[in-house]
Structure 1
Amino acid sequence: MTYRSIAALDDDIVDCRACPRLVAWREEVARVKRAAFADQTYWGRPVPGFGPADARVLILGLAPAAHGGNRTGRMFTGDQSGDVLFRALYDAGLASRPTATSRDDGMELYGVRMTAPVHCAPPQNKPTVAERDRCAAWLDRELGLLAPTLRSVVVLGAFGWQSGLRAFADLGWAVDRPRPKFAHGASTVLTRDAQQLTLFASYHVSQHNTFTGRLTGPMLVDVLTAAAENAGILR
């Protein structure tokens, strides 16, 4: 199916039920809930991307968190990983607020959109390869719609790096051979016709990485700033 707008794409993503295991898990989590959020109504559906349709920078993660995006209905919103990311975006001058708590908290991203290769919360934060591949059509369509304005992609983690390279190659972008390896701070330039797109790699904002100091706020700000400068958002 061909989409004319990001809004129409997001509307259809929310209704997707293509992966039985993910549907069962996201809905079970929404029913059982975490004790701290027992009084809240969970989203419990696929989580669409967030940010302007004419973004020049895209942040590509992994999948929504069970009690984060799966609860709030917005990418990286309502969990500790998201707290780190939104703080870094704010510190880099790319977000209106340092914290994100809900879909109606007034958060705005400046020239930045965030999405994921998998739109449903997976058990143990680990989607299968088959689930990733089934969800790939949504990512391909979103990247196609963003392509006219997109100049930089910040990829969080090795899973997102591999998914991003595959998606861009499928969309006709020239990717170096052998394919660039993931490493924090790495970057690679993709080309298609006269257009260039630079991918920037960062460790994922998982609690394991942030609690152990493998990824710090300043490290993430540096990557986001480099991507924004490359896209012409920051000078």
Structure 2
Amino acid sequence: MSDITSRLVADPVGDPATAAANARRLTDLDELITRCTACPRLVAWREEVARVKRAAFRDEDYWGRPVPGFGPADAAIAIVGLAPAAHGGNRTGRMFTGDRSGDVLYQALYDVGLASQPDSRHIGDGLTLHRTRITAPVRCAPPANKPTPMERDTCRPWLARELGMLRPTLRVVVVLGAFGWQALMPVLADTAWQVPKPRPKFGHEAHAELPATDGGSALHLLASYHVSQQNTFTGKLTPEMLREVLERAKELAGVARTHTSGR
């Protein structure tokens, strides 16, 4: 048994609200997230997937735990998805890593200068993000990729605390998909921003500016269709469409390009 697995078994986190509130650094929060056992259905599913595996990955050790966010603590842009994929993040331990959705996302991030390389295969592949952090409202891979409302709400304190820690530098949130858009609204209201009524509606390239409730900077919300195969294979979301949203996020956040891609 690995050290981290031993720690998970010996010291599980069953109450995200209390644990998240006690985290003082982003690294501490990430570590606590990996030990969460609050949702029995998700715990059972993520561990079953890690045990049974997909044939293509049968020789790999699956992560099989909740997946923390990925990116620097001074992020000006946050990208919010849905939940880890069963054989993507649940296998690799990093959001959008090792699956086709991630292939599309990281290529686009690289193209606009927010990622150091165009693909994300595993935690040790050397990938870094520039002023950008990738996260999700649900941290465990759910069956059929559909978390329940209760699971979403139970997981909410992790994202609220994460965005609160990013508050000094965070200026833009790019939301991938309608689920993330809806899940994010109460998180923002509980953190430092005023969500208008009626709430902004999801739609590709939707944009809303949320005033701060703490005297700080406003937050820009941008929406994109999710990078799921259902959207990218059918052309509902093209690489160009995604790049346009990310370029807009950079402009609103004041993030400069750090490299020139081969695109």
Please indicate the TM-score interval, normalised by the length of the shorter structure: over 0.9
The worse-fitting range, judged by mean Cα deviation, of 111-120 and 168-177 is 168-177
Q: Name 2:151's counterpart in structure 1.
A: 131
Q: Is 1:48 matched up with 2:68? A: yes
Q: Under a length normalisation based on structure 1, what TM-score does the superposition of the two structures give?
A: 0.98
Letter matched to residue 28 of structure 1 = E
Give the gaps of 5 or more residues in structure 1.
none
CA–CA distance in structure 2, aligned partners of residues 194 and 137 of structure 1? 21
Q: Under a length normalisation based on structure 2, what TM-score does the superposition of the two structures give?
A: 0.88
Q: Name 2:233's counterpart in structure 1.
A: 211
Shift of 1:4: 1.7
Shift of 1:164: 1.3
- Provide the identity percentage: 65
1:87-130 C-alpha deviation (Å, 9 max, x unpaired):
00000111010010000000010010000000000000000000
Shift of 1:224: 0.6
Q: Equivalent of 2:117, from 97, 110, 117?
A: 97
Q: Name 2:12's counterpart in structure 1.
A: none
Give the gaps of 5 or more residues in structure 2.
1-20, 258-263
Shift of 1:226: 0.5
CA–CA distance in structure 2, aligned partners of residues 163 and 229 of structure 1? 25
Q: Is 1:180 matched up with 2:200? A: yes
CA–CA distance in structure 2, aligned partners of residues 122 and 39 of structure 1? 23
> Do the aligned partners of 1:225 and 1:234 also contact (CA within 8 Å) in 2?
no
Shift of 1:137: 0.7
Secondary structure of the structure 2 residue equivalent to 1:25: helix
Letter matched to residue 177 of structure 2 = G
CA–CA distance in structure 1, aligned partners of residues 85 and 124 of structure 2? 18
Q: Name 2:247's counterpart in structure 1.
A: 225
Q: Name 1:9's counterpart in structure 2.
A: 29
CA–CA distance in structure 2, aligned partners of residues 150 and 195 of structure 1? 9
Map 1:66-145 → 2, pairs under 5 A = 66-145=86-165
Shift of 1:200: 0.3
Letter matched to residue 217 of structure 2 = Q
Letter matched to residue 93 of structure 1 = G
Q: Which runs of 4+ in 1 moved over 6 A?
A: none
